[in-house]
Amino acid sequence: MPKKTEWTPNTDNPAFTTKVNEGISHRHSAKKKNIKKSGLKKAEFYINGIKAGNRAVLAQAITILESNAEKHFQLGQEILSAIIQYSGNSIRIGITGAPGAGKSTLIDTLGTKLSRAGHKVAVLAVDPSSSVSGGSILGDKTRMENLSREENAFIRPAPSGDTLGGVARKTRESLIACEAAGYDIILIETIGVGQSEITVRSMVDFFLLMLLPSEGDELQGIKKGTVELADAILVNKADGDNIKNAELTKHQYEQAVHYIRQATKGWDTVVALASALNDTGIEQLWDIVKKFEQNTKTSNIFYNRRKEQQLSWFRSLIENNLLDAFYADKRIKKEWRNWEDKIKNNEIAVSNAANILLQKFLGK
Amino acid sequence: MPKKTEWTPNTDNPAFTTKVNEGISHRHSAKKKNIKKSGLKKAEFYINGIKAGNRAVLAQAITILESNAEKHFQLGQEILSAIIQYSGNSIRIGITGAPGAGKSTLIDTLGTKLSRAGHKVAVLAVDPSSSVSGGSILGDKTRMENLSREENAFIRPAPSGDTLGGVARKTRESLIACEAAGYDIILIETIGVGQSEITVRSMVDFFLLMLLPSEGDELQGIKKGTVELADAILVNKADGDNIKNAELTKHQYEQAVHYIRQATKGWDTVVALASALNDTGIEQLWDIVKKFEQNTKTSNIFYNRRKEQQLSWFRSLIENNLLDAFYADKRIKKEWRNWEDKIKNNEIAVSNAANILLQKFLGK
């Protein structure tokens, strides 16, 4: 039986609406030109390239998947359909933390270690407003200097110029392409704008929250609810003069997580210290991830969550696309303002107007 | 330009899904039989009855509007379309508070006063799980003994056996019918289950939160965010031995509202004391409502909010109905499980499956 996604009622109170930053960036315009210049290849080309683990082809395929152009959609679907069966064989890790918490440095240090140990590491980002964040403007490859030189690593900046929903779809599809290309560790970074942490949580197995050492007992401007998403909390920059504060912060969060429901059933959120810069605590962090993976695979929670995530994505994609189709419909667009005016002036009952518009849309 | 309702992404974390209690009650089965027994009249009958302020006809019309039966829908639409032009001339007041806070007693005392002063007072309730709450099982008329004897009062229990979305639609339409019947004060009560406070806030001009006197400085189990919705907070049962605690509670909330954004632009949330039982503080409460109405009408915020509420309701009704139509579609229902299995087993890309299903649905 179809189950409708939970519906949150509309409200006119701005405190209850989720604003998604729709900042538009043009970072990818160069890439888009590249597709054009070289011309689109047949799906076969990208499929074979991905299966062979060719990084350049993987990058081109992702650019096609990220494109909003109609002509790329069919090609993207062809590619996806052929590679989906090779996806799934990875651990997917989400990493969040305020700007300055050291996410890039951690990914650089951790990713480099894992690459050199024979893993294939892909780094993706979910960030609907990356054009605003300084870090991303500098370019992810600059931020991850060591990792970007590794043969086994693939770094991809956040898809830009889109709403969170659009970014989420693209990142999920990029993730599939990376897995099909043999990447067995997927790191997905977010700076936690708007709902992006929830979005990332909904596509990963393990979710890491990064914090800075702090004197106070405040929650460092972390959004309420973020701690509840985390399977581990890493207090970074636990080095030099910071060590005492880092331990204070660790202790404080260890207390806090007692009162919060587990992000993953059967797994108590771990709080750990690290210095990504000095490379301390990084291997211990990886041990936590491995232990988590083992536990949740034994209990089947790992696999069940993945299935649930897929189905949940399926429903939300259908629902989003259906609503988009409605609002993009030419006749609806043309008449919309007129109906709004009638409703504002109490000339027609809302349910009546809604009914007429839906009949129009569905009767075509 | 059509503006899509803010979309909250799906997540597999249960902490982030809004559960709406779908408890089914059968309190209205007797009423439904009444429609049948007496037979449906033509729309004209109900329209004229409502315009004449006939309480019995108003009640029958609301029963039709509340019905989920296909055959009542067209009749309901006819009635609504004819009376909508007479609606709007009222002040709509939402009242929330935990069970035991004294909502019924307040409504009884306040409503009786207002009725006797010549107002026509309608009491509605939004409560998706009213069959669970003791108060509602006893029947609203029993709970509001004085008011129920007033000629100028109309009391209607919460529509039952429905999700919050369904209840919200019905209550909005009942409200229109009450206004068209000349009721100039609409009181909408909720016990604050799930999202019901946000739902009520989205259909009223003024929102009142009722509290009990308390010794501690805890927030009385009030859901986070409820205080942000309130235009006034009433500490009830400020009588006898409770007075000291009532004043403490008042002080505490006066402090709290300083740090919270205004529920209504230009209006600072007022905290007041009352004893609904002893009839103290009730007239002062009404003075607050009158002052609020005057201020917000002068600033146009009153009228602008109403228009925004209508449009927001319009969008959410269209979106809900569109999704319902999708999931209720016979072909979609039949194939749904099959598609879910394919997705769980990585046999098809989610975006591909979503696309195929939407084409099927829209191509009909």
Please write the tens of the pLDDT for every residue from A292-317.
999 999 999 999 999 999 999 999 99
Q: What pLDDT is recorded for position A159?
A: 79
Q: Over 50: is that where the pLDDT of A164 sits?
A: yes
Judge whether A193 is closer than 8 Å to chain B, CB to CB.
no
Mean pLDDT of the residues in chain B: 84
- Which pLDDT score, from 0 to 100, does residue B30 have? 37
Q: What is the pLDDT of residue A99?
A: 82
Q: Positive or negative CA dihedral for B103, B109, B113, B118?
A: positive
Residue B35 has pLDDT above 60, yes or no: no
Domain A87-298 has CATH 3.30.2320.80: no
Percent of chain A with pLDDT over 90: 64
Contacts of A303 in chain B (CB under 8 A): none
Asked if A354 lies within 8 A of B7 by C-beta distance, the reply is no
Which tokens hold the place of B350?
């989610």
CB contact under 8 A, A326 and B339: no
CA separation for the pair B361, B327 (Å, rounded) = 10
Which residues contact residue A34 at a Cβ distance below 8 angstroms, ignoring those fewer than 6 apart? A60, A63
- CB contact under 8 Å between A350 and B199, yes or no, is no
The pLDDT, as a whole number, for residue B343 is 94
Q: What is d(CA A15, CA B229) in angstroms, rounded to the nearest whole number? A: 9
ipTM at complex level: 0.78
Residues in B touching A309 (Cβ below 8 Å): 12
pLDDT at residue A220 in the model: 58
The chain A residue lying nearest B86, using CA atoms, is A346
**Cβ–Cβ contacts within 10 Å for residue A305, how many?**
18
Decide which of B158 and A11 is more confident.
Answer: B158
**Does B322 score more than 60 pLDDT?**
yes
A169: left (phi over 0), alpha (psi -120 to 50) or beta: alpha
- Taking CA–CA distances from B196, the nearest residue in chain A reads A9
% pLDDT > 70, chain A: 82
Q: Determine which of B152-166, B277-291, B297-311 has the lowest per-residue pLDDT on average.
A: B152-166
Here the contacts of B54-62 (C-beta below 8 Å, separation 24 or greater) are: B54/B181, B55/B154, B55/B181, B58/B154, B58/B177, B58/B178, B58/B181, B59/B154, B59/B156, B60/B34, B60/B35, B61/B177, B62/B156, B62/B173, B62/B174, B62/B177
CB within 8 Å: B10 and A312: yes
Average pLDDT of chain A is 84
What is the rounded distance in angstroms from the CA atom of residue B340 to the CA atom of residue A318?
12
Predicted pLDDT of residue A13: 31
List A206's β-bridge partners, or say none: A93
Check CB contact of B84 with chain A, cutoff 8 Å: yes
Q: What is the DSSP string of A35-65?
A: HHHH-PPPHHHHHHHHHTT-HHHHHHHHHHH
User: DSSP state, B21?
Assistant: -
Of A12, A164, A349, the CB nearest to B77: A349
Give yes or no for residue A2 having a pLDDT over 80.
Answer: no
Nearest to A294 by CA among A333, A329, A267: A267
Rounded CA-CA distance A231/A244 in Å is 24
* A264: number of Cβ within 10 Å: 21
Mutate to test the interface with B, among A1, A7, A311 (most CBs of B within 10 A): A7
Minimal CA–CA distance to B66: which of B152, B148, B177? Answer: B177
Q: What's the pLDDT at A214?
A: 86
What distances in angstroms separate CA B31 from CA A363, B26, B181, one per listed residue?
35, 10, 20
The per-residue pLDDT for B244 is 94
* Domain spans, chain B: 86-298, 315-362
**B363 → chain A, closest CA residue:** A364
Contact B53, B182 (CB under 8 A): yes
Supply the angle between the helices B164-180 and B70-83 in degrees, to the nearest 10: 40
Pairwise CA distance, residues B176 & B309, whole Å: 13
The pLDDT assigned to A143 comes to 78
- Contacts of residue B176 in chain A, CB cutoff 8 Å? 349
Asked if B69 has any chain A CB less than 8 Å from its own CB, the reply is: no
pLDDT of B40: 87
Tell which residue, A238, A241, A274, has the closest CA to residue A113.
A274
Phi (first) and psi of residue B148, to 5 degrees: -65, -15
Whether A327 and B201 lie within 8 Å, measured CB to CB: no
Q: Measured between alpha carbons, how far is residue A71 from residues A40, A65, A87, A245 in Å?
A: 10, 11, 25, 54
Report the b/e string of A37-75 with b at 16+ CB within 10 A: eeeebebeebbebbeeeebebbbbbbbbbbbeeeebeeb
Q: Check pLDDT > 70 for residue A131.
A: no
Say whether A19 and B6 touch across the interface (CB within 8 A).
yes
Phi first, then psi, for residue A208 (nearest 5°) are -115, 130
What amino acid is encoded at A179 in this protein? E
- Binary contact (A84, B322; C-beta < 8 A): no
Mean per-residue pLDDT for A184-208? Answer: 91
- B210 and B236 in contact (C-beta within 8 Å)? yes
What are residue B208's DSSP bridge partners? B95, B232
Cα(B64)–Cα(B76) distance, rounded to whole angstroms? Answer: 6
| Per-residue model confidence as pLDDT tens digits over B215-252 | 765 555 566 678 899 999 999 999 999 999 999 999 98
Straight-line distance from the first to the last Cα atom of chain B, in angstroms, rounded to the nearest whole number? 26
Q: Where are the alpha helices (DSSP H) in chain B?
A: 29-38, 43-51, 55-66, 70-83, 103-116, 134-138, 140-143, 164-180, 196-201, 226-229, 243-258, 282-298, 301-328, 330-344, 350-362
Q: In chain A, which residues have their Cβ closer than 8 Å to the Cβ of B88?
A: 346
Chain A partners of B2 at a C-beta cutoff of 8 Å? 327, 332-333, 336
Top-confidence range, A1-10, A55-64, A130-139, B162-171:
A55-64
Q: What percent of chain B has pLDDT over 70?
A: 82
If you measure CA to CA, which chain A residue comes closest to B65?
A: A351
Please state the rounded mean pLDDT for residues B35-62. 89
More confident residue, B112 or A191: B112
B residues 171-190 lying closer than 8 A (beta carbon) to A:
172-173, 176
H or E segment to which residue A153 belongs: strand A153-155
Answer whether B42 touches A (CB < 8 Å).
no
- In a mutational test of the A interface, the residue from B5, B350, B358 whose CB has the highest number of chain A CBs within 10 Å is B350
pLDDT value at residue A127 = 72
Tokens describing residue A149: 């030189």
Pairing label, strands B232-235, B270-273:
parallel
Q: What is the pLDDT of residues B57-68, one digit of tens each?
A: 999 999 999 988
Partner A, chain B 313-332, Cβ-Cβ below 8 Å: 313-327, 332
Short-list A182, A164, A233, CA closest to A51: A182
Which of B312, B351, B359, B360 to mutate to probe the A interface, most A CBs <10 Å? B351
- Name the pLDDT band for B8 (thresholds 50, 70, 90): very low
How remote is the C-alpha of B213 from its chain's centroid? 26
Please state, in angstroms and as integers, the Cα–Cα distance from residue A215 to each residue in A218, A272, B174, following that order.
9, 17, 55
Can you give the pLDDT at residue B132? Answer: 42
Q: In this prediction, what percent of chain B has a pLDDT beyond 90?
A: 63
Locate all alpha helices (DSSP H) within chain A, ordered by sequence. 29-38, 43-51, 55-66, 70-83, 103-116, 134-138, 140-143, 164-180, 196-201, 226-229, 243-258, 282-298, 301-328, 330-344, 350-362
The CATH code belonging to domain B86-298 is 3.40.50.300
Half-sphere exposure in the Cβ direction for A286 (13 Å, CA): 18
Tell me whether A303 touches chain B (CB under 8 Å).
no
Three-class DSSP category at B272: strand
Q: What is the structure's pLDDT at B239?
A: 94
Q: Euclidean distance between the first and final Cα of chain A, in Å? A: 26
**Cβ–Cβ of B350/A12 closer than 8 Å?**
no
For chain A, say whether B362 makes contact (Cβ under 8 Å).
yes
Strand order in the sheet with A206-211: A153-155, A121-125, A185-190, A91-96, A206-211, A232-235, A270-273
